[in-house]
Chain A
Amino acid sequence: DAMVIQNPRYQVTQFGKPVTLSCSQTLNHNVMYWYQQKSSQAPKLLFHYYDKDFNNEADTPDNFQSRRPNTSFCFLDIRSPGLGDAAMYLCATSLDRLSTDTQYFGPGTRLTVL
């Protein structure tokens, strides 16, 4: 089945130690998104790629970066994780950016910062 895959499902890192989360998709969608969801809060968009074009949200901290080496894969890099970055990180995809394009989410990666 076509799907959005996130690895690992659980990630533990140390304060200040760089960490990378990965997302892959078999849907061949043009757009890939990264959302952050802190405990008991709603998901919040960090940035998205439209094909190779990176689009950052205005309030996304510089500590968060992303890479999309090809259509199928997208990575979230946290350069120096702080305790406040502990959250669920959700990857999503959509065929295009029209408002009728459904976003499909992966299962998420839960990040713990010690």
Chain B
Amino acid sequence: DAKTTQPTSMDCAEGRAANLPCNHSTISGNEYVYWYRQIHSQGPQYIIHGLKNNETNEMASLIITEDRKSSTLILPHATLRDTAVYYCIVRPEGGATNKLIFGTGTLLAVQP
């Protein structure tokens, strides 16, 4: 499975956009990019996923570079409740387990 690299931590001012980068330079053509987040003492929460095209939902936007070697998760208007560890995960298509291999993630601290 492709490895991901994320900054250990980031700060963001409340109300501003939070841009969380992820490097996945060894990603292969059939691998999806997934984002989950984990608020302290809670289970991980699905945010968004994509393959090649940029994606947007009610929570966030996902921008994937044309070469697919990196991506950025955008929270358009961060709130204090968005403070969490954000995990970027690359998942192969198919396979027998569909397991999530979590990396170290980025701790996003939204400041008032």
- The answer to whether A and B interact is yes
- Most B CB contacts (10 A, CB to CB) among A55, A96, A100 go to A100
**Are B102 and A43 in contact (CB-based, < 8 A)?**
yes
List 5 A-B pairs, Cβ < 8 Å. Answer: A33-B99, A42-B105, A48-B99, A99-B94, A105-B45
Q: Please tell me the number of chain B residues within 8 Å of chain A, measured between CB atoms.
A: 25
Measured in the bound complex, the distance between the Cα atoms of B50 and A102 in whole Å is 12
User: Nearest chain-A residue to B100 (Cβ)?
Assistant: A103
Q: Report B30-44 CB contacts with A as 1/0, cut-off 8 Å.
A: 011000000001111
**Are A48 and B97 in contact (CB-based, < 8 A)?**
yes
Residues of B within 8 A of A96 (CB): 98
Interface residues of B in 78-101 (CB under 8 A from A): 87, 91-101
Residues of B within 8 A of A35 (CB): 100
Contact A42 B93, CB 8 Å, known A90-B44, A102-B46, A104-B46:
no
**Are B98 and A94 in contact (CB-based, < 8 A)?**
yes
Chain A CB within 8 A of B103 CB: yes
Residues of B within 8 A of A42 (CB): 87, 102-105
**Are A99 and B91 in contact (CB-based, < 8 A)?**
yes
Chain A CB within 8 A of B68 CB: no
Q: Chain B at the A interface: mostly helix, strand, loop or mixed?
A: loop
**Are B42 and A99 in contact (CB-based, < 8 A)?**
no
Measured in the bound complex, the distance between the Cα atoms of B91 and A57 in whole Å is 17
Measured in the bound complex, the distance between the Cα atoms of B43 and A42 in whole Å is 11
Q: Report A36-63 CB contacts with B as 1/0, cut-off 8 Å.
A: 0000001111001000000101000000
Interface residues of A in 83-114 (CB under 8 A from B): 88, 90, 92, 94, 96-108, 110
Known: A96-B98, A100-B32. 19 other contacts (CB 8 A): A4-B43, A31-B98, A42-B87, A42-B104, A45-B100, A57-B99, A90-B43, A97-B97, A99-B95, A101-B98, A102-B49, A103-B44, A103-B46, A103-B98, A103-B100, A105-B43, A107-B42, A108-B41, A108-B42
**Are A43 and B97 in contact (CB-based, < 8 A)?**
no
